[in-house]
Amino acid sequence: MARQWLRKSELNEKLWKGDKGESLLDSSVAGVRTALSAESLAKILLLVVVNSVFLLAALHLLNSKREFDNRGDRSNCVTNYRLNNVHPMSLSLDQNRLIQSSEFAPKNESNQENIRQFDTFGVAVHLFIKMSAYRGGSNSFAIIGLEAKNPGELYNDPPYECVWIPGPDSLVWAPLKGSAIKMLPDTGNVYSRLYSAVIINCTFSQDVGVDRKGGQLVLYASYGDQYPRNPERIVALTEQPDEFPGVEFYESSDMKYDYVYCGSPLFGNLSPQKIREWIAYHAHFFGPRSHFFLYDAGGVHDNVRRMIEPWIKAGRVTLDNIREQEKFDGYYHNQFMVVNDCFHRARHLARWIFFFDVDEFIWAPPNDNSLPAILARYENQSQIIIWQKPMSKSLCAQEQGEAGNDSSFSRLRSKWTFEKLVFKSIKWRESHDCKYAIQGQKAMGTGIHRSGHLIGGNATTYADPLNYYHYHNTINKRDEVCEDFIDKSVVYVNPRNRTDIYTHDDGLAVLADHIKEFERDVIGPQSFIL
């Protein structure tokens, strides 16, 4: 018994590593005993007792008594495992092995059928993959990750439990169980592959951690099936003492930025020049009180990085390397998970959060071009939808291709892409491929073309004067985009497809010189790398 207590106190110390004894983590059982003062040992024992009471309650769910036998290293290896770090021994101790074939053996001895055994090797699909967890207020959190698709689809019961464990110095000792609401942002699993993106909203009936003594958000994820498997214990978030920024941070309308950009992950052979144009344009469009969260899913090669780095130095861009998520088979570089990570990290940084891609340019008509004024009209909307202007990826204006000698060609080449592609499909108002912005406080999660998890009544409207120019299929074109040079005063009908019709639209192109100057002013001269 004593041994078991100490094993659990060790586990609790792991939670608070750095607090009472930096060496505890690695110390022997005897070491733990001597390293702890009587007082802190009493505290830990109390925590363990309360913890155990909760754990028992949680496990009641599955009628399993195995929890304490299996807790510890083993449960970590399934949730946190990195292939390279897993000792072969721990793989063979995988949770799945806990279902012994004997549990499926018929109880009737006289039954003559052959019982076949299935030997399992490795773990190809994880129950849950955590990307992040963010506090959303004094009593709520969001956990963002991936879940194995099947349990989510087959069993309606959300197999999650949230618990808050107060920090060791908190006057509050009891762990608190919260409500766990699960959201599937990929419109209910239709886009999921082996994994579905999931957001778990943990809300507690009272404020947690507001005494600024730190604490820990723990998520229990059960398998949700009929087999006797233990839930996985996932430490979703650890808040250090003094880390809680105060209730005002979550409630004030006075935020760090006016606008935050959240985008889909960057992947593929991106054109550095086009990324350069996109950042410069939007850094100007959204103004100095804006910030861009970019996610590298393999698209930020060296020359793209050269374009992004000056903006990182200028404090305008944050770049995250998320290449590891490629190991987990979700929709499109786990786009749904990534936009939700961005959404929840930005939720209290700016009132409006914009979602669109790096081949899309948000634009407001020049006579109506104050973004704050436009957004003020939609202050009571949770979400605004922005219309697309689908642009041709190859039609340029005739005068740009004139003469066709070497010097005019090099002049053409050095122009920016949005300066050259000036023909818009007449089908633009029929296009439903929309992008959007949401007020962070009025949503709990988001999607790709819009959020389906809004809070409150006034949901969604089209933000009419706002549009975005969409240069589809250009972002990874590494050579000249202009293929045909068209008279801009006429309507162009594609000779190979009579319904494919374009008209001239240089609303964005006319801004090019101004944007180039702005870029030079802010980050200095940049190289042109197509």
Contact between 268 and ligand NAG by CB under 6 A: the answer reads: no
Contact between 139 and ligand NAG by CB under 6 A: the answer reads: no
β-sheet bridge partners, residue 261: 292, 354
Three-class DSSP category at 499? coil
* Contact characters 483-502, ligand NAG, x per CB under 6 A: --------------x-xx--
Whole-angstrom CA distances from 162 to 55, 75, 88, 236 are 11, 17, 31, 9
Q: How far is the C-alpha of 316 from the C-alpha of 310, rounded, in Å?
A: 9
Please identify which residue in 201, 264, 290, 325 interacts with ligand NAG, judged by CB under 6 A: 201
Three-class DSSP category at 202? strand
Neighbours of 499 (CB within 10 A): 8
Cβ of residue 43: shortest distance to ligand NAG, in angstroms? Answer: 30
Q: Of the listed pieces 137-145, 253-261, 335-343, 517-525, which binds ligand NAG according to CB under 6 A?
A: 137-145
Number of residue whose CB is nearest ligand NAG: 136
Contact between 403 and ligand NAG by CB under 6 A: the answer reads: yes
β-sheet bridge partners, residue 160: 221
DSSP E strands in 222-372: the ranges are 232-239, 257-262, 290-296, 317-321, 350-355, 360-363
Contact between 380 and ligand NAG by CB under 6 A: the answer reads: yes
Backbone CA torsion sign across 420, 430, 197, 133: positive
Q: Of the listed pieces 132-140, 184-192, 220-228, 286-294, which binds ligand NAG according to CB under 6 A?
A: 132-140
Contact between 410 and ligand NAG by CB under 6 A: the answer reads: no
Q: Which DSSP category does 404 fall into?
A: -
- Cβ distance to ligand NAG smaller for residue 217 or 509: 217
Contact between 327 and ligand NAG by CB under 6 A: the answer reads: no
Contact between 110 and ligand NAG by CB under 6 A: the answer reads: yes
Extract the tokens encoding 30.
């005897």
- Cβ distance to ligand NAG smaller for residue 401 or 507: 401
Please identify which residue in 407, 430, 479, 521 interacts with ligand NAG, judged by CB under 6 A: 407
Report yes or no: 357 and 390 within 8 Å, Cβ to Cβ: no
- Cβ distance to ligand NAG smaller for residue 125 or 434: 434
- Cβ distance to ligand NAG smaller for residue 69 or 251: 251
Contact between 402 and ligand NAG by CB under 6 A: the answer reads: yes
Extract the tokens encoding 341.
């990570």
At 156, give phi and psi (nearest 5°).
-70, -30
Enumerate binding residues for ligand NAG (CB under 6 A): 108, 110-111, 136-137, 140-142, 201, 203, 377, 379-380, 402-403, 405, 407-408, 425, 427, 444, 456-458, 497, 499-500
